[in-house]
Structure 1
Amino acid sequence: MKHPPSLLALIRELSRLPGIGPKSAQRLAFHLFEQPREDIERLASALLEAKRDLHTCPICFNITDAEKCDVCSDPSRDQNIIAVVEEPGDVIAIERSGEYRGLYHVLHGVLSPMNGVGPDKLHIKPLLPRIQEGMEVILATGTTVEGDATSLYLQRLLEPLGATVSRIAYGLPVGGALEYADEVTLGRALMGRQQVSKPTPQR
């Protein structure tokens, strides 16, 4: 049995979303087909508005619809500590923990030579000018192989800049993505972070 071309096109586009395979895309396509037209139009409108209005913060690269994100615009945040995370979803996860009041820097990925993702593909270079002597940088990448490799790479870059570098660790399962950790686990991981280097004395 052949599917109509319009249905095949919808399945193909849905399967391009992360974590959505062909079977999941097909289920979603049939689900969408069964929804009222106004619901589909509302979904399409929300997608178009998000694409039009959202952009990355020029400072931390989190997603925002303003000139700067809420965190970078908040003078009450601790300016002497930066948590480096993989994705914008990780910022949301950490904020839910209620244990962190510092700043963020979003890499938008991890180092993955197998997938052709090197340092130039991530927002690493803009991080370095933000680091001042005496600051603390929390490497809050996931505990996957790629997350650990990214953390180690950043540690070596940051050590000469005079910052204390710590690594989020306690409570996170090995191979786990930060975004899917619950609030309690993530809060403990932040409070139990491990220092991985001391600032290099400035000459």
Structure 2
Amino acid sequence: MENISIILCEVQAVRNNRFVDLKPLFKPNGISLPVLRNVPMCLFGDEINYIDWKINTGNIVPAFITTFDISSYISQGNKEKMDTIKRNSLNSCFAIPFTVPSMQDVRSFPEAIKIIGDRLEEGEINQTGNITRTGNTNITGDVNITGNLTVTQKITAKVVNILESLASKVATIGGIDFAGHKHTDAEGRDTSGAK
């Protein structure tokens, strides 16, 4: 086992606390290795800001067998007991959420960064550049726009406050009293009763 540092494994079970059970695909001398229980699946980032992926059973991921024992840290978060005599132990490992393809995989490289699948985003998002979106967008909350808004099709909106104001006995918009506002036509007749 001294020469093993990274092995490919198949995810056998996914636990709720981001730990997985891994079945090693490597068989030294034709002998299957035991299932690696409670292996932490790493995050890219820190405890507050990170990128995470959904891991499914059957995924093929790399597992890193650490030279020095980290089992106490994995099980208890203990950062002081990493100097045990155990070396290259299968109980001292972690995995990263990479999917290792085979030659049977027909996906080609994209032209740019490409994200496939559903996304859950939390936190502030600041984007620079143009965004082209296809599909519906649902927004809960206020929308502030600095710049022009161009709409090529109809706008459906609830303008309750404006309509209620126009229907009331005192309807004032821009300082003009529309409830009592009157015009006369070219011959001087009152047009307030026109229908």
Taking structure 2 as the reference length, the TM-score comes to 0.19
* Higher Rg: 2
The structure that is helix-richer by fraction is 1
The structure that is strand-richer by fraction is 2
